[in-house]
Structure 1
Amino acid sequence: MISSLRITQIYVLDQQEALDFYVGTLGLEVSDDQDLGFMRWLTVAVPGNPDRKILLERPGPPSMDERTAEQVRDLLTKGAAGGHLFFVCDDARAEYDRLVARGVDITDEPTVRPYGTDFGLRDPFGNHIRITQLADVPATA
């Protein structure tokens, strides 16, 4: 039986730029940064939650050949092949204001929804991100 999810993956075109964004702008922490020879294994995590990591992977070997990698890079830059990340915060409006001040590409302003207040943004590579302040919603039967 599966008991948890440890690592999820998104494609990035430049791992140093990804570090600057995910660590320097969003405030995540580096979990792993290892040169494996055939690839750089680079993961980040939400502070205080090191057991759930995001692998920031460049399209290419060993997971795909160069022709496929070029197609993925092209789709990624168009916002058509990016991943989706969903984060939770305590104050969506304050987080939105902080990220706007840092020049982040905001796609949706904070909106109150039945599950909470959330907004959308994109990383420098086209990956979609949602940040949500969860509402106190009673459990359904």
Structure 2
Amino acid sequence: MSTITIHPDGWKPAKGYANGIIAEGRVLFVGGQIGWTADQVFESHDFIGQTRQALQNIAEVVLAAGGSVSDITRLTWFVTDKREYLARQKEVGAAYRDVMGYHFPAMTMVVVAALVEDEALVEIEATAVLPPED
């Protein structure tokens, strides 16, 4: 599946995200994923560890649907601590690239007071556009 990244003329470069994506195919909506394992256990109580796990969970859902991380067109992040996110952006970027490589879909970051699971520090939802079924 091919996507087209949209970047309006004259805008400063988007760093680590796309302003827009055009895609055609089957749409997969991935519910918010938090930093716990498939057994719903938090192995990490650290923001970076939970970020990596949440992204890995998204990748696994997309793979289970027959896609790949390059099919992800949008991510919406919910974080409970803006200061920690900003202070650890370099580490967030490294964790992101470990799972997603250098694929940067359209993204939104929202700071929230809390998440439903008390131990969760980050929740990420995704949209992917998968190739047509054969």
Length-normalised TM-score, structure 2: 0.28
Length-normalised TM-score, structure 1: 0.27
Q: Which has the higher contact order (CA 8 A, sep 6+)?
A: 2
Name the one with the larger helix percent. Answer: 2
Give the greater-gyration-radius structure (CA): 1
